[in-house]
Chain A
Amino acid sequence: AQSVSQHNHHVILSEAASLELGCNYSYGGTVNLFWYVQYPGQHLQLLLKYFSGDPLVKGIKGFEAEFIKSKFSFNLRKPSVQWSDTAEYFCAVTGGSQGNLIFGKGTKLSVKP
């Protein structure tokens, strides 16, 4: 069965610090990978996605993620976080024809001004 692990439950950073959130997945076939973000009081929004091609994908608001197939990982990075990045971040994977997403438990990011 597919599963997603996010290593950090809560990350606290100061503004301008670099960010890396870990995500590992378990699935034997071709996968599509996603990072979703949920800002306080708002609904889930797609941050970035990987379907195929260049394993380094760039998303909105300066975020990027790297798909490393050999490590079953899809870590999220940002060189310099802002207070407005305070949110909960969810890694998700889908494979097969149904398309339903399998989510990790999420990582809460708090950025101190």
Chain B
Amino acid sequence: DTGVSQNPRHKITKRGQNVTFRCDPISEHNRLYWYRQTLGQGPEFLTYFQNEAQLEKSRLLSDRFSAERPKGSFSTLEIQRTEQGDSAMYLCASSHPGMLSSYNEQFFGPGTRLTVL
């Protein structure tokens, strides 16, 4: 399967614990996005990378959240001191480095569902 993959698919944690999610984009996609989706809502943008550079962060990304893409390939999203309000589906997407318009066609992974107890 050459699509976007995310691990783990499900994570249950206790409030206050730290969690880390991983995203492996489609090979050679240089843009990688993180979104969060809560029940009854569409995905909301968190942050994105072009290669290893983190170029934009949403105001939704509090200082407890950090994302990295150290070698411009896979990315990790860490949440420190989790809160119940962090419970959501965390989605990763990647896009192709071709024509400018192609930057906007994003391919999504299956997501990581986080439950904070």
Q: Which residues of A contact B (CB under 8 A)?
A: 4, 32, 34, 36, 42-46, 49, 51-52, 90, 92, 94, 98-106
Contact = CB atoms under 8 A, between A and B. Distances in A.
Contacts, number: 61
Interface of B: 31, 33, 35, 40-45, 48, 55-56, 91, 93, 95, 101, 103-111
A32 B99 CA distance: 14
A102 B110 contact: no
A15 B40 CA distance: 25
A99 B111 contact: no
B105 A90 contact: no
Q: Which secondary structure dominates where chain B touches chain A? A: strand
Contact of B48 (A45, A49, A100, A104): A100
A10 to B, nearest CB: 11
A102 B111 contact: no
B111 A43 contact: yes
What are the 5 tightest A-B residue pairs by CB atom distance, in nearest-first order?
A103-B42, A44-B108, A100-B45, A43-B110, A99-B103
Contact of A51 (B35, B55, B101, B107): B101
Given A42-B110, A98-B55, 15 more contacts: A34-B104, A44-B43, A45-B108, A51-B101, A51-B104, A90-B43, A99-B48, A100-B33, A100-B48, A101-B33, A101-B35, A103-B42, A103-B44, A105-B40, A106-B42
A98 B45 CA distance: 11
A106 B111 CA distance: 17
